[in-house]
Amino acid sequence: MEFWKEDFYSLKFAEKKRDDTIIINIGPQHPATHGVLRVLAELYGEYIVRSECVLGYLHRMQEKMGEIKTYPQFYPNTGRLDYGHALAWNWAYVGAIEKLVGIEVPEKAEYIRVITTELNRIASHLLWWGVYILDLGAFTPVMYAFEDREILLDILQRITGSRLTYAYFRFGGVFQDIDSKFIEDTKKFCKRMHSRLNLYHEFVTENIIFKKRVEDVGIFTKDTITKYGATGPVARGSGIKYDVRKAEPYGVYDRFKFKIPVEDKCDCLARYMVRMKELEQSLSIVEQAIEGLPEGDFKNKKTPKMIKPPAGEVYFSVESARGKVGIYIVSDGGMNPYRVKLRSPTYSNLSLLDEVSKGMMLADYVATLGSLDLVIPEIDK
Q: Single out the segment in contact with other proteins by CB under 8 A; choices: 26-34, 52-60, 92-100, 109-117.
A: 26-34
Using CB under 8 A, pick the residue from 50, 170, 275, 322 that binds other proteins.
Answer: 170
Q: Is 21 in the site for other proteins (CB under 8 A)?
A: no
User: Among 28, 76, 229, 239, which residue interacts with other proteins (rule: CB under 8 A)?
Assistant: 76
Is 359 an interacting residue with respect to other proteins (CB under 8 A)?
A: no
What is the helix (H) or strand (E) element at residue 315, kind and residue range?
A: strand 312-320
The minimum distance between CB 285 and other proteins, in angstroms, equals: 23
User: In angstroms, rounded to a whole number, what is the distance separating the alpha carbons of residues 179 and 159?
Assistant: 8
Question: How crowded is residue 112: how many other Cβ atoms within 10 Å of its Cβ?
Answer: 25
- Return the number of the residue (48 or 352) whose C-beta is nearest other proteins: 48
Binding other proteins (rule: CB under 8 A), the pick from 28, 72, 229, 239 is 72
87 binds other proteins (CB under 8 A): no
Burial category of 91 from C-beta neighbours within 10 Å (exposed 0-12, middle 13-18, buried 19 and up): buried
86 near other proteins (CB under 8 A): no
Interaction between residue 206 and other proteins (CB under 8 A): yes
**Residue 347: strand, helix, or coil:** helix
Interface with other proteins (CB under 8 A), residue from 69, 187, 255, 339: 69
User: For residues 147 and 123, is the Cβ–Cβ distance under 8 A?
Assistant: no
Among residues 57, 175, 315, 328, which is the contact residue for other proteins, using CB under 8 A?
Answer: 175
Between CA 136 and CA 215 the distance in angstroms is 13
Q: Choose one: 120-128, 285-293, 327-335, 363-371; the region binding other proteins (CB under 8 A).
A: 363-371
152 binds other proteins (CB under 8 A): no
Q: Is 133 in the site for other proteins (CB under 8 A)?
A: yes
- Pick the binder of other proteins from 13, 32, 231, 377 (CB under 8 A): 32
Name which of 130 and 326 has its Cβ closer to other proteins: 130
Q: Rounded to whole angstroms, how far apart are CA atoms 321 and 120? A: 9
Which one of 13, 75, 189, 256 is in contact with other proteins (CB under 8 A)? 75
As a whole number of angstroms, the distance between CA 372 and CA 37 comes to 13
Of 202, 204, 194, residue with least CA distance to 139: 204
Residue range at the interface with other proteins (CB under 8 A); choices 55-63, 71-79, 93-101, 225-233: 71-79
Taken in order 117, 120, 126, 128, is the CA torsion positive or negative? negative
Residue 226 binds other proteins (CB under 8 A) = no
What letter would DSSP give residue 361?
B
Is 184 a binding residue for other proteins by CB under 8 A? The answer is no
Q: Is 202 in the site for other proteins (CB under 8 A)?
A: yes
Q: Rounded CA gap, 190 and 268, in Å?
A: 27
Is residue 128 near other proteins by the rule CB under 8 A?
A: no
What's 152-192 look like in SS3?
A: HHHHHHHHHCCCCCCCCEECCEECCCCCHHHHHHHHHHHHH
Binding of residue 355 to other proteins (CB under 8 A):
no
Window contacting other proteins (CB under 8 A); options: 49-57, 165-173, 239-247, 273-281: 165-173
Task: Say if residues 237 and 274 touch (Cβ distance below 8 Å).
Answer: yes
Question: Own/partner pairs for 245-254, CB < 8 Å, 24+ apart?
Answer: 245/318, 245/319, 248/317, 250/91, 250/95, 250/316, 250/317, 250/318, 251/91, 251/95, 251/105, 251/110, 251/113, 251/114, 252/107, 252/110, 252/111, 252/114, 253/114
> What number of other Cβ atoms are within 10 A of residue 64's Cβ?
12
State the minimum distance, in angstroms, from the CB of residue 29 to other proteins. 8
Query: What residues line the site for other proteins (CB under 8 A)?
Result: 22, 24, 30-32, 43, 45-46, 69, 72-77, 79-80, 133-140, 143-144, 147, 150, 154, 157-162, 165, 167, 170, 175, 199, 202-204, 206-213, 305, 361-364, 366
